[in-house]
Structure 1
Amino acid sequence: MVRDGRPQDTWWNYSFTPVRGEDGTVVGVFNQGHETTERILRDRNREAEALRQRRLFEQAPGFITVLEGPDHVFEFVNHAYRRLFGDREFLGRSVRDVFPELAGQGFYEWLDRVYATGERFVAERTPIELDYPGAPRNTRYLDFIYEPVRDDGGRVTGIFCEGFDVTAAHVAEQALREQGRALETLNRIASSTVVEQDLERIVQLVTDAGVELTGASFGAFFYNVIDASGESYMLYSLSGVSHEEFARFPMPRNTQVFAPTFNGEAVLRSGDIRRDPRYGKNAPHNGMPEGHLPVTSYLAVPVASREDGVIGGLFFGHEEADRFTEEHETVILGLAAQAAIAIDNSRLIRRVREANETLEKRVAERSEELTQAHEALRQAQKMEAVGQLTGGIAHDFNNLLAGISGSLEVVERRIAQGRTDGIERFLQGAQTSAQRAAALTQRLLAFSRRQTLDPKPTDVNRLVFGMEDLISRTVGPQIKVEVVGAGGLWMAKVDPVQLESALLNLAINARDAMPQGGRLTIETANKWLDDRAARERDLPPGQYLSICVTDTGSGIAPDIADRIFDPFFTTKPIGQGTGLGLSMIHGFVRQSGGQVRVYSELEQGTTMCLYLPRYSGDVLADDDAPDTRIAESGAGETVLVVDDETTVRMLIVEILAEAGYRALEADDGPSALKILTSQTRIDLLITDVGLPGGMNGRQVADAARSHRPELKVLFVTGYAENAAVGNGLLPAGMEVITKPFVMADLAAKISDMIDR
């Protein structure tokens, strides 16, 4: 009908009734109509809204279900719900029918209470044990809400449930807490054993710490004292039980289960020692002597001295199976190393004391005794350095872990509550802490020369002048910064990011030496080193360029000048520095083929000079530099990702999916080679360098290239196994990126390699 000047669809109910004359014939028709347009449109809108709501529920990131009636019958479940709880028959069945394994876990009762009272129920980090076909019972952790559904009269007719699977976050948080506790315990033991000279006390401290770190029922330290038969050891300390528990049993014998520990051959970890063939298949009483403490899980680690071989072993037991993990094994190995150092130190100090007491009677042996005293002092200094390291790094890492876990916990709680406002700053806080942790790890790698360098032709003048503003802001207004660049400065082949970090560290050290202000000068120059000059700088003769950072500060005292590049050496209090700054600079420069030299006078100032080899090859102009922009999407190319870390592999696959690439996955070298030797199309191989399965990433790449000579390879490494990746000298088509990396940088690297 035409209404308001335009045609519109309308709906009607019509009634046609015949009108008859006096003789009964139809003489007309009576037509009666009622318009139903408004009702029809309203019903259609309601149906459309219901359909849209259902689609939104289906696409929701969290799991959603609608339950009907007092029996809680499934009326609707979204895809996320099916993914989490498995492919079960849901619709039209009650919760008790679909999830019989929930009996006794509280979920039935919570649903009944919500339906009866009409009150909302909210749960956070709630464990739920689920049965999956063909798999053992699985424990998940959920955040969820039970919301009553009411009819127009306010009566409860069902329950709306929405929630999230937070298992990964829960496990990660528990792991962070365990790592924090382990660091605190190791730091405490390191600090205690540094000053402790009583050997019995040292061994008891270590044994107690092992029980604490592993959750073992008991722990023991057995000395490696062997009698004539070669099968007798001495119990030295116990933790968790009394000595009487072991008094009626003989000492361990040199059997297959004890020999690897006392011979220093391997760590022995067993989920059920009673059924372990190394213990003895026919042992009585299910593998344990009558009256022995119940032992099922078993962990044994050798304690080896650098001088005296295997001192003994740390042994831990638990009555339940599979209680000790790889993480426990790793931390006990670290504890055993601390124990060995502390025992060596105690023995050396004791020998020095005995030597001093009989010095007048042993004049002829004076030289040897002085050597022992020097060794004892060196060991004590090493223990002091370890104490500083653990104090500084534990302090820094605990702060960083607190920032990460705390921020993520706030974000998770807000998302579970449906609040997303303001979470960006918590995400930024977690990311900043993670980046600071990565920077601290890079410092550790730098002084040990195990970091991955990305050397490239670098205009050092341009780099230094580009940092002038950053350095000025860093040192503050009280210090005047001056940059003097040499004309015609040669190019250097160096990692520019690490060079920037080294210069910034030197500037910060200079700032700390000038608390009242002063002048900081950065000067570049070309250097020809002849044989004599090269020997003085411990370098081969040749062409170098130097970068000298000079301050007008307090200078370096002569008694510490020879120690400033030692790892962990610092004049700052514990917790305010790890002593890795200058050792990191020294390690980076030496790894780059250069040298660091220091010139200092008390109250006059200090000059730190970095010598870097000249680069004489071709250099790309800025206009010819490769385009590193991230492509908006790939063209369906196939990328094989090989990494034994599930989380890292998941992140790389996610980046590939967002960029439009097809991803294949493998968790070790042999399974990757099965794919690489097949007919499957592979456009790029991304592989971790350190892999399980007997093959590292470089070996996988080389084997793959024997089948696919033109295969492009991107190596990913966490600490730069330089020998495995050619110490920076990779064949064409192979590149490397270091963990942790920015996702955008990884995407750009992938796009660049595939496009080329």
Structure 2
Amino acid sequence: MVALENERRRADRIWSVSRDIIVVLDGAGTLRSVSPSWSRILGHPPHEVVGRQLAEFVHPEDVANSRFTNSQVHCDQGLSSQENRLRTVDGSYRNIEWHTTSEDGLVYGYGRDVTDRRAFAQELNSSREQFRHLVQGVVDYAIYMIDLEGHVSSWNEGARRIKGYEPDEIIGEHFSRFYTDEDRIAGAPAQTLEIARREGRFSAEGWRVRKNGERFRASVVLDAIRDDSGRPIGFAKITRDITEKENAQRDLEATREALFQSQKMEAIGQLTGGIAHDFNNLLMAVLSSLELLAKRIPDDPTSRRLLNNAIEGAQRGATLTQRMLMFARKKELAIERIEVPALLAGMNDLVQRSIGPEWPISTSFPLKLPPVRADGNQLETALLNLIVNARDAMPSGGPIVISATREALKKSNRSSLPEGDYVRLVVRDEGLGMDAETLRRATEPFFTTKGVGKGTGLGLPMVHGMAQKLGGTFEIESKPGSGTSAILWLPVEEVEMPVSRPATVKEFRPQTSQLKVLAVDDDPLILMNTASLLEDLGHEVIEAHSGTDALSKFRAGNDIDLVITDQAMPKMTGTDLITAIFELRPEMPAIIASGYGEGIEMPRRQVVRLGKPFGQVQLAKAIDEAVGKKDLGKSHTFSAPG
């Protein structure tokens, strides 16, 4: 009896303190008794529950599929892990997992609240599904799993897009098939797995292969996946196609280098242009003085020879300054419509005799090569420079081939040229070629690989400057031992243009009578020599040392017939001065003398441009043109030979 009493008290304690719901049902499914946990979990007081059917508290959707209802309580065997939803006092439902047994016509049920566990499992499943969709939805990265031996076990959309395989084609296959043949032979796939297994992670960039055999540049990360005990169970692999990124980076580097070279050449051009301008002024003083002196020295052979040598040396210096100005793109060009084959045909015999028979020149042109926009004299000089360079690159002789093609450049072209039609003119030799450093510096002024006294280093810079000023460009393609191609890109000129090149005259006689001329220059030497040339031509000269000085003297004298002014002067330029004079006397003949070819445009003005350095003949021609000019807007340029 004592033992039975003890067992009953133990059962009462379990009934009272159990966290699970304990219920007793009769054969009709009526609740005969419920433990206190019913109230703690579901909220109903026991006296409101006892005597009612259990099915009244079960969710309607669970009644039909539940074995733990009034129609199932007579089962001989107990239930295990039977789950249904019971209604709480506030109308919500809790998930209860039941275990039952029956005895003497009664059913004893033990119900555990698994609501939180089910909610967690549902969230976990939802999270896993979201992650699966996330991984599958990534198209810019190949994300997939491989087992410890390297076989693919999953495959996302990014992997299909980047590598080209469908999931059923690749799952189960070894990941080494993505490697190049040379990497497989070198054992790269096995090394990749070993590093990831040992260090937990492997990352690198390299070449990979798509299904169609195309290679692409890839950034690869391989992470080891471990179980709770730390043992590796597989690998997660992420591959990114960086081909476009690397191409863009290379293009960016090329653009930066081109910008650097452009800025460097621009700086050198500015320096060269400034030096050339100063040399022009010096040579102007020298040449004009020598020209005037030639009329005054006695007719002595020795003196005449020395004078001629001085004039020739000064003229060679003038030629160098013209090349420097051309490189700096500050020399005016007489733009014409040039037929390249005809131009070369006209100079071929002379050039061939000049360089010698060991360097035969041949040409290759299409039948319908369009004309180009160019300065005929400057283009001849540029081609002569390139031909001479080709000859010098082949000391033992060899062929020089000049070819041309028409090229239509689109906006996406990698050159610096704008969209349009161009003639690509190439002078090709089979000489020694250039190394990378020589090629990089080839168009720098004063850089030359020829011996001392054999080259000025201004030939290629002149070609470069001319091409840039014409709206084209100049390129050199060369490798050591593979010869050199010097390439001129010149814009096509389809529209007829008038030829403005003046005819050559051996002897010029001024047509203008005596004039009163206002001569303006901030350089005393130039001003003195200009005045001397004018006086020698029979004109009366008023000298002014600045634009403001000239404007003051012009206002004071109403009998001035002509103004000749330098352009580059402080405070007031030549164009500023002429503009101010035109406001006072719109029909005043005017000449701008300058070594520069840009920055002196005066549309719809009666202005003649005279290139420095100039001689007395060029000065007289410019005066005749300025005084005889009637049509507004016409402008001519007179330059010294060379």
TM-score by length of 2: 0.48
Q: Which has the higher contact order (CA 8 A, sep 6+)?
A: 2
Q: Which one has a bigger Cα radius of gyration?
A: 2
TM-score by length of 1: 0.41
